Amino acid sequence: MPPPPRLRLRGSVHERLGGRTVRAQQGAEKEKPGQRRWRPLLRIDYPRRGRRGVRRWLPSWRQLLLVAAAGAAVLTGWLAWFFVNTEVPEDMNSFATQQNNVYYWADGTEMARIGEVNRQDVPLDRVPEPVQWAVLAAENETFYSDPGISFTGIGRAVYQMGSGGDTQGGSTITQQYVKNSYLNQRQDMSRKLSEIVIAIKLDHRMSKRDILTGYLNTSWFGRGSYGIERAAAAYYGKDVSQLDPSEGAFLAALLKGAGQFDPALSADNHRRAEDRWSWILDRMVEVGKLSAAERAKYTVFPEPRPQPKAAGLSGQVGYLVDMARNYVEGHSDITAAQFDLGGHQIHTTFEKPRVDALAAAVQDATKGIDPANRDADRFLRVGAASVAPDGRIVALYGGPDYLKQGFNNANTSSVPIGSAFTPLVYAAGLSQGVQRQRDGGRTPVLPTTTYNGNNGVNVMTPEGPYWGRDGKIVKTANDGRRDWGTVTLRSAVEQSVNGPMMQLGMDVGLDRVQKTAADLGLLPASIGELVPAFGVGNSTPSAIRTADAYAAFAAGGSHTDPYSVLGITRNRAPLALRLPTAVQALTPAAAGEVDAALKDAVRTGSATPAAGAGPDLAGKPGTTADRTAGWFVGYNGQVSTAVTVFRADLKDMKLLSLEGVGGAAPDTPDSELPTRIWTSYMRTAGGQESRADASRR
C-alpha cells in the first residue's frame, strides 16, 4: 500500500477570487520554535485587502450578513425591552367624564352649554349579533382568532408610515379599543408601538367579548355620540337592540369617519355612506354571517333621521352656536370628534343686546304676516346680520326659532342681492375707471360722471350693443320703468337708478367688478354670471357677507372677513385659532365717495324711510327685477347691518314672488319690509357701543 499523501501545511496557499489565483501568504514571518501564532477571532477586512478601485470599498456578502445580523439582534433586544416595559395603563382615558362645551357672549357672560359626551354603556348581549358582525366584517373579520394584532396590517401600516401615509390602516379592533380607551389619537411610531404591545397584552388579559363590548361602547359615531347605544338613538331613534342588519351596517360605516359618512351633512357624504353600507352587507355574506337571501332584502339604504336639535338652542341661540362651532372647526386644528368630547370654552363675538334687539325688530315688523289666511305670506323668510368694521359678527337673525327651523336665513347663499349690489359697482368704477371703446384706454370715473338714466336704453359694449341669448339687444330697466334723464353716478346710487349702474358695470368690465366684489368679501360661489344683470345684483351673497362688504365703505376701504369666535380654550389653556386680518380692498378715496353717496341716499334719496333711525346713517334698499327678494343694507359708525326678505319653501328653495306680502299694495317696493326692520333695529341698537369698541378707548 502506498503511503498517504503528505499534507502541505506551509508554503503557498491559494484562494480563488474573481477567477484569478492570488498568493495569500507572501513574506510571512517564520514562527520561532515553541511560539504560538496569535490569530484574532474576528477580523474585519475593510477596506478589503487585495482589491483595487471601487471593489476595495464594496463589502462582501459575509460582511453584509454580519451587519444585518447585528442590526437584527439590536432591534430584537430593543423590542423585547419595549415589550417588557410597556404596561397596560391602570386608568382609561378621561373622555367619559368630560364637561360640556360652553359658549360665551362677547361680554363674557355664559350663552349656552352644549355638546356633553353622549355615551351610554350597553352589554354585548343587547347588541344584535348581525349588528356585531356588521362591525366585525367592516373593521376586523378575524377578530375572534387573531392575537390582538394583525401582522399583515402592521406591515401595511409600517409601509404607510415610511411613505408618509396614514398610520391607522392596520389596526385591529383590539388596537382601536386600546387607542380609544388608553392612548391618545396621535398618529406616530411611538404611539403605534405602544398600541401594538398593549393590544397583545390586553388580548391575553381580557376575553374577546369584553374587548368587543368596550370597543362598541367607546367608539365615536358622530352627532356627539360615543358608543353604539347612543348612535342608534341619534340616527334611528331606537334602542340598539332594535337595530336590523341594514341599520347596523350603516352604523358600522360611520366607524371609518363619521364626518365623511353622515349622509345628512352633504350629498357626497350620502354617496360614500350608501356605497360603504352596501359593501359591508356584501362582506357579511362573504364571511358567512348573513345569508344571500337575507342580503337580498336590503336593497334600499336605511336613511337615518335628521339630526335632532340639542336642548338649550331655542330662539336665536342655536343659530349662534352653529355659526361659532363651524368657525372653530374651519379655523383651528380641532376635529369634530375632539370637539364632541367637550371641555371647550368658546368666546364668541355675539353681543346679546344687539341679538335681542334684532329679533325684536323682526318680530315687531312682521306682526301683520298671516300665512294661514294669506297665500302671499306663506314661506316668508327673514334673515339679518350685523357686522362690525373689523369683521366681528355682533348679531344675526337666522329664523323664528332654531328648534323649529334649523336653516339659517342670515347665512343662505341662494337669494339675489338685487340693486343693493350697485354700490360695489360704483366702487369698482371709482377704483378702476372705464373702457368704452375697443382698444381704447381706460378713463377715470368721478362721482360727477354722467350716464343716460332713462329706462330701456341699449346696453353697450366696446364692440357695440350687447345681444342676449334670446337674440335681442339687452336694455336697461329702472324700478317702475321711470325715466331719469341724464344723471351723475353719485345720483344714480343715491336715487337707486339701475340703468346707469348696469351700463357702468359693462364699462368697467364685469370681470373687474367681480374682483372688487371678491375683495370686499363675497364668496366666489355666490357671485353671479357675468352678464349685464351682474351689475344690478344677480349674485347671491348672504346677509352676513353683504353687511361685511358695506362695512368696508365705513372703514376707509379696509376689509376683514367676518368671524364669530374671538378665542377658544380647553381646561383654561388657550387653543390656536386662525382669525382673519384686515386688507385694503378699496382706496380710502373710493370708499369715501361710496360712503358719501350712501349717506345722501338716507338724507335725500331712496333710503329716506330709514332716516329716523339716528344720525350719520348710510344705507341702500335693494330689489330684484323678478320681485323675489327685498333688501336693506346700511351702517353707522359702529356696525353694518343687512336685512333680507324672501319667500321659499325650504324643501326646494324655489324663490317665490313677494308681491302682496303682509297685504301690501301691488306697487309697494319689496324693500319696504326689510327697511322697516332695519330702521326699528338701528333705532334701538344702532347707538350701542360694543364691548370690543369700548376696550380700545
pLDDT in tens, 135-147: 999 988 888 888 7
How far is Cα 648 from Cα 534, in angstroms, rounded to an integer? 22
How far is Cα 174 from Cα 166, in angstroms, rounded to an integer? 19
How far is Cα 687 from Cα 693, in angstroms, rounded to an integer? 12
Residues β-bridged to residue 247: none
Residue 95 has pLDDT above 70, yes or no: no
pLDDT digits (tens, 9 = 90+) for 455-485: 999 999 999 999 999 999 999 999 889 999 9
Cell 326678505 sits on residue: 645
SS (H, E, C) 426-490: HHHHHHHCECCCCCCCCECCCCCCEEECCCCCECEECCEECECCCCCECECCCHHHCCCCEEEHH
pLDDT digits (tens, 9 = 90+) for 311-361: 678 999 999 999 999 999 999 999 888 888 787 899 999 999 999 999 999
Asked whether the beta carbons of 127 and 247 are under 8 A apart, the reply is no
Cell of 18: 474573481
Average pLDDT of the chain? Answer: 85
Asked whether the beta carbons of 171 and 179 are under 8 A apart, the reply is yes
Higher pLDDT, residue 313 or 277:
277
Other CB atoms within a 10 A radius of the CB of residue 89 amount to: 13
Residue 613 has pLDDT above 70, yes or no: yes
Q: Which residues contact 179 (CB under 8 A, 6 or more apart)?
A: 171, 185, 195
Residue 163 has pLDDT above 60, yes or no: no
Domain membership of residue 55 (yes or no) is no
**The length of the chain, given as a count of residues:** 697
How far is Cα 31 from Cα 596, in angstroms, rounded to an integer? 112
Low-confidence winner among 20-29, 245-254, 365-374 (lowest mean pLDDT): 20-29
pTM above 0.85, yes or no: no
Asked whether the beta carbons of 160 and 166 are under 8 A apart, the reply is yes
The arithmetic mean of pLDDT across residues 507-520, rounded, is 97
Domain membership of residue 287 (yes or no) is yes
Asked whether the beta carbons of 541 and 452 are under 8 A apart, the reply is no
DSSP 413: S
Other CB atoms within a 10 A radius of the CB of residue 177 amount to: 27
Residue 633's closest CA among 618, 612, 655, 611?
A: 618
The arithmetic mean of pLDDT across residues 52-66, rounded, is 72
Domain membership of residue 331 (yes or no) is no
Q: Which residues of 546-561 are buried (b: 16+ CB within 10 A; e: fewer)?
A: bbbbbbbbbbbbbbbe
- CATH number for the domain that contains residue 153: 1.10.3810.10
Domain membership of residue 412 (yes or no) is no
Asked whether the beta carbons of 622 and 691 are under 8 A apart, the reply is no
Domain membership of residue 607 (yes or no) is no
Amino acid letter, residue 26 = Q
Using DSSP's 3-state secondary structure scheme, residue 619 falls into: strand
pLDDT digits (tens, 9 = 90+) for 62-87: 767 777 777 777 666 655 654 554 55
How far is Cα 286 from Cα 229, in angstroms, rounded to an integer? 27
Cell 328648534 sits on residue: 403
For residue 97, the model assigns a pLDDT of 45
Query: Which residue range is the domain that position 247 belongs to?
Result: 126-295
Domain membership of residue 214 (yes or no) is yes
DSSP 525: G
Asked whether the beta carbons of 383 and 140 are under 8 A apart, the reply is no
Q: Which residues contact 502 (CB under 8 A, 6 or more apart)?
A: 459, 476, 532, 533, 535, 536
Asked whether the beta carbons of 345 and 229 are under 8 A apart, the reply is no
Cell 341699449 sits on residue: 458
How many independent structural domains does the chain possess? 1
Domain membership of residue 286 (yes or no) is yes
**Half-sphere exposure at residue 320, Cβ-oriented, CA atoms within 13 angstroms:** 36
Using DSSP's 3-state secondary structure scheme, residue 386 falls into: strand
Q: Which long-range contacts (CB under 8 A, 24 or more apart) does 47-53 make?
A: 50/17, 50/22
Domain membership of residue 359 (yes or no) is no
Higher pLDDT, residue 693 or 316:
316
How far is Cα 309 from Cα 403, in angstroms, rounded to an integer? 6
Q: Where do the H-state alpha helices sit in 543-696?
A: 543-554, 588-604, 672-685, 691-695
pLDDT digits (tens, 9 = 90+) for 283-313: 999 999 999 999 999 999 999 998 876 667 8
Residue 647 has pLDDT above 90, yes or no: yes
The arithmetic mean of pLDDT across residues 636-659, rounded, is 93
Q: Which residues contact 495 (CB under 8 A, 6 or more apart)?
A: 484, 487, 601, 605, 606
For residue 4, the model assigns a pLDDT of 55
The number of angstroms, rounded, from the C-alpha of 128 to the middle of its chain's C-alpha atoms is 35
DSSP 208: H
* Strand ranges in 213-277 using DSSP code E only, listed in sequence order: 220-222, 225-226
Residue 133's closest CA among 5, 295, 15?
A: 295
For residue 360, the model assigns a pLDDT of 97
Other CB atoms within a 10 A radius of the CB of residue 282 amount to: 14
Q: What angle do CA 45, 48, 53 make, to 5 degrees?
A: 165
| Strand pairing class (344-348; 101-104) | parallel
Asked whether the beta carbons of 131 and 246 are under 8 A apart, the reply is no
For residue 59, the model assigns a pLDDT of 73
The arithmetic mean of pLDDT across residues 593-621, rounded, is 96
Asked whether the beta carbons of 459 and 535 are under 8 A apart, the reply is no
Cell of 123: 352589554
The arithmetic mean of pLDDT across residues 212-222, rounded, is 88
